[in-house]
Chain A
Amino acid sequence: MSNHPWNTVAAELAKLRTLPAVLVTIAVTVVVAAGLGAALAAAPSDRPLGAVDAALHAVDYAQTGLLVLGVLAVASEYAGSQARTTLTAVPGRLLLMAGKVTAYLITGGMTALLTVAAALTGAMIVHGGGLVRDDGRLDSGGPVGGGGSVGDDGPVGGGGLADGAGLVNGGGLADGGGLVSGGGLVGGEDVAVLLRAAAYLVLIGLLALAVAALVRDAVAASAVVLALVLVLPPVLAGVTSLAGYLPGAAGARLYQAGAGLSPFEGGLVLGCWLAAALAVAAISFIRRDA
Chain B
Amino acid sequence: MSGYGAVGAELRKLVTLPSALVATALGTVFTLGVTAMSVGRLRDRLDAGAPDDGSRLDLALNMSAPGVISVIVLGIVIISSEYAVNGKDAGGGRQIPVTLTAVPRRGRLLAAKAVALVLASGAVAAVTIGGAILMSRVMLGDRGTPMGEVVAALGWRPAGAVAYWVLTALIAFAVTVMTRSGIVPMVAFIANTTLVSVTFLLTKVTPLARYLPDVAGAQMFATGYPAESMVEPLTGAFVMAGWAVALLAVAVTVFLRRDA
Contact = CB atoms under 8 A, between A and B. Distances in A.
The answer on A and B forming one complex is yes
Interface string A203-224: 0000000000000001110110
B202 A39 contact: yes
Given A36-B201, A239-B38, A64 B196 contact: yes
Given A42-B205, A68-B183, A80-B85, A240 B37 contact: yes
Interface in B70-129: 73, 76, 80, 85, 87-88
Contact of B88 (A39, A80, A230, A240): A80
A231 B194 contact: yes
Interface stretch (A43-51, A101-109, A169-177, A180-188): A43-51
A45 B204 CA distance: 6
Interface in B179-207: 181-183, 186-187, 190-191, 193-196, 198, 201-202, 204-205
Given A80-B88, A239-B34, A61 B63 contact: no
A253 to B, nearest CB: 15
Interface in B218-255: 227-228
B191 A238 contact: no
Contact of B187 (A42, A43, A44, A68): A68
A191 interface: no
B69 interface: yes
Contacts of A227: 69, 190
B195 to A, nearest CB: 5
B195 A234 contact: yes
Interface in B10-30: 19, 23
B143 interface: no
Given A231-B66, A239-B38, A43 B183 contact: no
B41 interface: yes
A236 interface: yes
B191 A230 contact: yes
Contact of A60 (B85, B183, B190, B196): B196
A192 to B, nearest CB: 23
A63 to B, nearest CB: 8
Nearest 5 interchain pairs by C-beta:
A43-B204, A239-B37, A230-B194, A219-B182, A46-B204
Interface of A: 21, 36, 39-40, 42-46, 60-61, 63-64, 67-68, 79-81, 218-220, 222-223, 226-227, 230-231, 234-236, 238-240
23 contacts: A36-B198, A36-B201, A43-B204, A44-B204, A46-B204, A61-B196, A64-B187, A67-B187, A80-B88, A219-B183, A222-B183, A223-B190, A226-B187, A227-B190, A230-B195, A231-B66, A231-B69, A231-B190, A231-B194, A235-B66, A236-B34, A239-B34, A239-B37
